[in-house]
Structure 1
Amino acid sequence: MPTKIFLTGATGYIGGSVLQRLLSHPDSKSFQITTLVRNPDKAKLLESFGVKPVIGSHSDTEKLEALAAEANVVFTVADCDDVAAAKAILAGHKKRHAETGEVPILIHTSGTGVISDNAAGMFASDVIYSDLDIPLIESLPPSAPHRPVDILVSQAGQEGYVRTHIILPSTIYGIAKGPLFDKGVSNSHSVQVPALIKASYDRGQGGMVGEGKNIWPCVHIDEISELYTVVYDAATANPNTPQGREGFYFGESDHYLMYDVAKTVAKVLVELGRGQSEEPTTFTPEEMQKYFGGSAYLGSNSRCKAARSRAIGWKTTKTTKDMLASIKPETEALIKNGRISEAMGSRDNY
């Protein structure tokens, strides 16, 4: 029997990387993968990879429900804050369960932004979350970033008509590579570090929020995409794999001080003849508004440990040193591709 997989976000940075993992999975010949895409040209390209594209978007809730109802496994790797889309997909799961008795699997993308604070770059928090400490996660306010959808997904798993697993990537870095990216199907750049690079490039000087004293976890794109297949393999092999209330899986390989990232950006800009000093300076209120819509998000803390993720077999080898080393090639690629001057301030799944 084939495994019917429905995936959202195939043209994105994380989603494209996850799709590539599925296409090269040892069981890929038994997969029937359907994706939801907006761009007809990219849909045709996806067909060449043996993927079935369906033209549509998150606003097509009836389509989302129908596609989820047809699938054994759903990967949601697009907008993690779209409550209506999440409800539609969960409705599809409930319909499938009612009609077949099967308990399908949902692997949903959230982000460690859910545990971010309001430090504004002025201090490092000593609070470190663990994906094994469910009471601490549940103490987060319902208004926290990503939390409304996380709650819906977690509760659905508790109700028993679907097994839910929530992956929470942190700061993802590295240029995504592979056939889907070579063909222009998927976006090869992340958002968080490139946002800092773009703002700093535009102002001609490496910048930071406040004093850059805040701390975040980080993970390479290859390693976070592997976490999705590790969770998939665990969930399909063992129905007792932690899910529902306990189904939280952080994507963290190391932690970094934001000042170190800002200083590396400043140094790279000097090397490229764009920056004035290797010492980063604080974004002014006007710059914060211009580049980040007034948000001090890049000055927040988000500290965590991926204990549950590692307990089911996820392994990481890359460190903060690798992240800092990725900044120069990322900057050069953004310049080469003409993306350095694109509008800033958007937020990825982190």
Structure 2
Amino acid sequence: MSGTKTSFLLTGATGYIGGAILARFLAHPKAHTFQFTVLVRDPAKAEKFEALGVKAVVGSHSDAHLVEKLASEADVVIAAADCDDLGAATATLAGLRKRHALGVVPIFINTSGTGVISDEAKGAFAGDLVYDDSDVKQIQSIAPTQMHRNVDLAITEADVEGYVKTYIVLPSTIYGIATGQFVDAGIQNPHSLQIPALISAALDRGRAGMVGEGKNLWPNVEIHELADLYAILYDNIVENADLGHGWNGFYFGASGEHSLLDVGKAIGEALVALGKSDNPEPTTFSQEELGKYFGGSYLGSNSRCRATRSLSIGWKPTKTTSDMLASIRPEVEALIHKKAKVAA
């Protein structure tokens, strides 16, 4: 690493995952040896980051030249913005290639997602195929046409070329309302995507819903425990010279598993308790509703995995699916409050 501090570039710092990762690293025992730079679009949020001791650059992830420049100045890049942004990944890798030319072997920790192993169940069945992050051949067998896969492959190929060590974290359904200094400062989104999307749809239609019969299965992970995985992975990277990377650097972020029906029932129960529905049982989304609320039947897929490699490096999540289901009512309450505030 260069100089007296390790230079980090973090993308997605105002987002749900990125903000949680940044907060976790700034609470690290060695945080005084870290220098973080974040890339943000909003100048006002950039000023708030600076006030909290984080260097902020105003710009867009679509500005390839800027992303490349910032990556070329970083010892470590943690990408937590858009896992399908191949342009940003390509620019990041170009910058890290330049960093390598200076005699540094940079680290790239990218955020993907277990959507890469999803199927087309449409809620009709619980899939039997379970992916294990320690099974390299199985990870390599994932079709290049799967979502997120083109970015994952480009990053892994860069590791094969040898100018960067790459690691890919694949979160599952993330839940829980994020907390911390960046949420308090109004610069981090505290909410996830999947479950809040289901809640928003339920509030709009007055009834909880599901894709098909809701039999499909997904893993889940709590937001702060997911952030722990990034910090633990980083510690392992710098402390264990034998730690694998590239194809041996895939890490599932998953600690529980749920069916879409379970989530639908929990949303339905919360709606009834809060006077927003008269029936707790979820009903099947129509094709029109799937297009309106979600742009398709993606949430009806199976995405099953085991986080064997993640657990092997010392990640110890304690939250379970029961915690995930218990987190749904607070999410419903938060969204109702938000809608009321907007209406007012």
* TM-score normalised by L of structure 2: 0.97
- Matched with 2:50 is 47
- Matched with 1:9 is 12
Among residues 110, 113, 136, which one is paired with 2:112 in the alignment? Answer: 110
Aligned mates of 1:321, 1:199 — CA distance in 2:
22
After superposition, residues 229-244 of structure 1 pair within 5 angstroms as: 229-244=231-246
Q: Tell me by how many angstroms 1:238 deviates.
A: 2.0
Aligned mates of 1:171, 1:327 — CA distance in 2:
13
Q: Tell me by how many angstroms 1:334 deviates.
A: 1.3
The one-character-per-residue Cα deviations of 1:174-216 (angstroms, maximum 9, x if unpaired) are 0000110011110000000000000011000010000000000
- Matched with 1:88 is 91
- Matched with 1:32 is 35
Structure 2, unpaired ranges of 5+: none
Q: Tell me by how many angstroms 1:222 deviates.
A: 0.8
Q: Tell me by how many angstroms 1:341 deviates.
A: 8.7
Among residues 15, 20, 25, which one is paired with 1:22 in the alignment? Answer: 25
* Closer/same/farther in 2, CA of residues 15 and 154 from structure 1, 3 Å limit: same
Q: Tell me by how many angstroms 1:286 deviates.
A: 1.4
Q: Tell me by how many angstroms 1:262 deviates.
A: 0.3
Moved over 3 A (4+): 339-342
Total equivalences in the alignment: 340
- Matched with 1:327 is 328
Among residues 65, 70, 91, which one is paired with 2:68 in the alignment? Answer: 65
The one-character-per-residue Cα deviations of 1:114-162 (angstroms, maximum 9, x if unpaired) are 0000000000001000001121121111110100000011111121111
Determine whether 1:185 maps to 2:158: no
* TM-score normalised by L of structure 1: 0.95
Aligned mates of 1:308, 1:339 — CA distance in 2:
44
Aligned mates of 1:146, 1:86 — CA distance in 2:
11
Aligned mates of 1:161, 1:118 — CA distance in 2:
37
- Matched with 2:310 is 309
Supply the AA of the counterpart residue of 1:38.
Answer: R
* Closer/same/farther in 2, CA of residues 156 and 197 from structure 1, 3 Å limit: same
Secondary structure of the structure 2 residue equivalent to 1:324: helix
- Matched with 2:269 is 267
Aligned mates of 1:200, 1:312 — CA distance in 2:
39
Q: Tell me by how many angstroms 1:104 deviates.
A: 0.7
Q: Tell me by how many angstroms 1:236 deviates.
A: 1.4
Supply the AA of the counterpart residue of 1:245.
Answer: W
- Matched with 1:348 is none
Q: Is the 8 A contact 1:198 1:341 kept in 2?
A: no
Secondary structure of the structure 1 residue equivalent to 2:339: coil
Aligned mates of 1:340, 1:94 — CA distance in 2:
47
After superposition, residues 183-332 of structure 1 pair within 5 angstroms as: 183-293=185-295, 295-332=296-333
Q: Is the 8 A contact 1:119 1:214 kept in 2?
A: yes
Aligned mates of 2:254, 2:290 — CA distance in 1:
27
Among residues 62, 67, 77, which one is paired with 1:74 in the alignment? Answer: 77
Secondary structure of the structure 2 residue equivalent to 1:32: strand
- Matched with 1:347 is none
Aligned mates of 1:341, 1:212 — CA distance in 2:
31
- Matched with 1:345 is none
> What is the percentage of aligned positions where both structures have the same residue?
56
Q: Tell me by how many angstroms 1:340 deviates.
A: 10
Q: Give the aligned CA root-mean-square deviation in angstroms.
A: 1.3
Structure 1, unpaired ranges of 5+: 343-350
